[in-house]
């Protein structure tokens, strides 16, 4: 029973078992979940942060348990790491502006985050590749996606700074 629940958690209710591109499915599901949380259910950002922290911490144990007896230490069906990495830029976007965001603005931003996250997760620039190559455990599985998410944040900050100079 516990092993089944753990598998459901790390595969995001089985989403990671879909063929071909499970990481992309996990990332896309994350933007849908966050859109629902922030723009339909209007949940408090503090509640969402607490849930994210719990998921982040529990993921180390869940992924470690899932890959313990697996020869492949980063199996494609594990997509909770995509959820965590994709959550970073979206959550920071939602809490960074003091103004209300229209649903259309959020959709556009979420799509940009999705594309950038998938790019960095697949291209694996340093230090994303460092965690992917050097840590064959739950730490490596999760942290490469955390750093891919941080690259998205860094890219968006650079874009905002550069565009502010161009627009002036």
Tell me how far apart the alpha carbons of residues 166 and 160 are, in angstroms, rounded to a whole number. Answer: 10
Give me the mean pLDDT over the 105-111 stretch: 93
Q: Is 148 helix (H, G, I), strand (E, B) or coil?
A: helix
pLDDT digits (tens, 9 = 90+) for 38-75: 999 999 999 999 999 999 999 999 999 998 877 777 78
pTM: 0.92
Tell me how far apart the alpha carbons of residues 148 and 3 are, in angstroms, rounded to a whole number. Answer: 28
pLDDT digits (tens, 9 = 90+) for 75-107: 899 999 999 999 999 999 999 866 677 888 899
62 Cβ contact list (under 8 Å, min separation 6): 6, 9, 10, 80, 138
Tell me how far apart the alpha carbons of residues 53 and 49 are, in angstroms, rounded to a whole number. Answer: 6
């Amino acid at each position: 029973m516990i092993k089944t629940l753990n598998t459901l958690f790390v595969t995001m209710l089985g989403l990671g078992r879909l063929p071909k591109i499970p990481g992309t499915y996990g990332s896309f599901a994350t933007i849908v979940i966050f859109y629902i949380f922030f723009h339909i259910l209007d949940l408090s950002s503090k509640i969402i942060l607490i849930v994210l922290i719990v998921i982040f911490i529990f993921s180390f144990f869940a992924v470690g348990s899932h890959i313990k007896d697996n020869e492949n230490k980063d199996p494609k069906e594990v997509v909770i790491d995509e959820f965590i990495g994709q959550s970073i830029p979206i959550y920071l976007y939602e809490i960074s502006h003091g103004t209300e965001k229209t649903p259309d603005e959020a959709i556009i931003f979420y799509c940009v985050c999705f594309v950038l996250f998938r790019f960095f997760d697949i291209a694996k620039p340093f230090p994303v590749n460092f965690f992917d190559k050097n840590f064959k455990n739950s730490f490596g599985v999760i942290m490469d996606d955390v750093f891919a998410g941080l690259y998205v944040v860094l890219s968006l900050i650079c874009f905002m700074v550069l565009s502010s100079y161009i627009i002036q």
